[in-house]
Structure 1
Amino acid sequence: MSKPELPRGYLGPQPKFSEFKLSTLSHNDPEITADTNEIEVKFRMGQPVKVTGNLIECSSTKDYSNLLFTQNQGDVVSYIVQMPNPGYYKLQIYALPVSDESKTLPGVYNYLINCTRAPKAVQPFPKQYAQWKEGCYLYEPLTIANNNGTVNFKATVPNAKAVAVTVNDTWTQLKNSGSDVWEGPVQITKDSRVTLNVNYGGEETKYSTLLEYNL
């Protein structure tokens, strides 16, 4: 498969990248060749930033952003990328300082990934809501198989007063194991809507959705 033509200046850091105090950590070259269809791309933050991204298959221009998972741990931003087929993909990174109230995140870095093999079956990551992108980190589960069973949840959720998982209308409270880490077993049923939710204090019954899995 031939390499796609890209606009001049498209690859690598964009003007806001250094202004927002970001630096590459795992992949310094914006052209990545991968012999597997799951990779993790990491950046270091010099200040707190909100981040997002998208994943586009070059040949079909199809958006596979449901196969892209973003999370933060300390000053590191991590993008876990799954690619369904061999071929070229554009990974486009967007960011904005947390202190900026603007709703639009400018593009800060672009990668071109050449996936030469696709040995793993891909499974969509959970949908990430706005507050997830403010310092949260998911240890498990990154994906959930669509069957009945017990799944262990473990996530870092800064400043949370309570964290709960819902399976349709059934609530399970997670336990705080220290350092903003919340975890616990949750009974999953097939064909469910599963959400990870946070309460930041104030009203005990007011929870915000962080992640949503659709089985």
Structure 2
Amino acid sequence: MAHKPELPKGYLGPQAKFGQFGLQTINHNNPEINLDVNEVEIELKMATPVKVTGNLIQMESLKELPEYVFTQTKEDVVKFLVWIPKAGYYKLQIYALPLSDDSKTLPGVYNYLINCTNTPKMVQPFPKQFAQWKEGCYLTEPLNIPKGSPINEIRFKVTIPNCKAAAIVAEGEWTHLEEKGSGNWEGVVCLEQFRGKDAKVTLNANYGGEESKYSTLLEYKI
């Protein structure tokens, strides 16, 4: 059984900018989280729009595992979905910056210590999240594309604020998603021809201006 790690004084919980940026915890007010499962969802409330990201660090090896943290936003709530690959202690470091601030560096705003004692769920990395994903986007499905699973009909359902067009691109092949109103986009994509080829599949959005100019929001690997 792993021993509880020693952390610097003041490391856990809210940091200086947390309140300044208008953030508050919703469902995990205690920065120490004990789990007997290997997934947890942490929610923060925003007073004004904030871009956020998270990093998971395994305490034993100090290995960074950002691919096991998925960040998404719905209205004034930002959610961090965390999947734990193996039992042990982990640090979850949350970074944030007001959306109106163009700075590329997000300061640390809150730190959690997670103690996971059991891993009943097989977990795989989430899709890689690019900068514009953190500006109010929300993914309903798929949270990942498990290796070995059927991929002839993958349903995509996503919310992208201020988006004019959205598409899934797999190795240069484009499938445009259909707009359902209120920034919601949906579509079904066949990826069977890419099975076993370590292909990159990206979610892309056009925000107006040049019709051919798309920003990459998410990147899956199949």
The residue aligned with 1:24 is 25
Counterpart of 1:134 in structure 2 is 135
User: What are the superposed Cα offsets for residues 83-121 of structure 1, whole Å, 9 maximum, x if unpaired?
Assistant: 111110000000000111111110000000000101111
- 1:48-197 to structure 2, matched below 5 A, reads 48-147=49-148, 148-188=151-191, 189-190=194-195, 191-197=198-204
TM-score normalised by structure 2 residue count: 0.95
Query: Aligned equivalents of 1:62 and 1:84: distance in 2?
Result: 12
State the distance in 2 between where 1:124 and 1:149 align. 21
The alpha carbon displacement at 1:34 in A equals 0.8
Indicate the larger mover: 199-208 or 5-14.
199-208
**CA distance in 1: counterparts of 2:166 and 2:115, whole angstroms:** 39
Return 202-211 or 139-148, whichever deviates more: 139-148
4+ residue runs over 3 A deviation: none
Give the secondary-structure state (helix, strand or coil) at the position aligned to 2:190. strand
Distance in 1 (alpha carbons) for counterparts of 2:142 and 2:123: 14
The AA in structure 1 aligned to 2:59 is C
Q: Which amino acid aligns with 1:104?
A: T
Tell me, which stretches of 5 or more residues in structure 2 are unaligned?
A: none
Q: 1:201 aligns with which of 204, 208, 219?
A: 208
Q: Residues of 1 paired with 2:81 and 2:205: CA distance? A: 23
1:40 aligns with 2:41: yes
Distance 2:15 2:172 in 1: 44
CA distance in 1, matches of 2:152, 2:8: 48
CA distance in 2 between partners of 1:3 and 1:24 (Å)? 23
In structure 2, distance between residues paired with 1:213 and 1:127: 7
Looking at structure 2, the residues matched to 29 and 62 of structure 1 have their Cα atoms a distance apart, in angstroms, of: 24
* Counterpart residue type for residue 180 of structure 2: S
Unaligned runs of 5+ residues in structure 1 are none
Identity %: 61
Structure 1 residue 73: deviation in Å?
0.5
- Structure 1 letter corresponding to 2:82: V
Structure 1 residue 146, shift from structure 2 partner: 3.2
Deviation at 1:145, TM superposition (A): 2.2
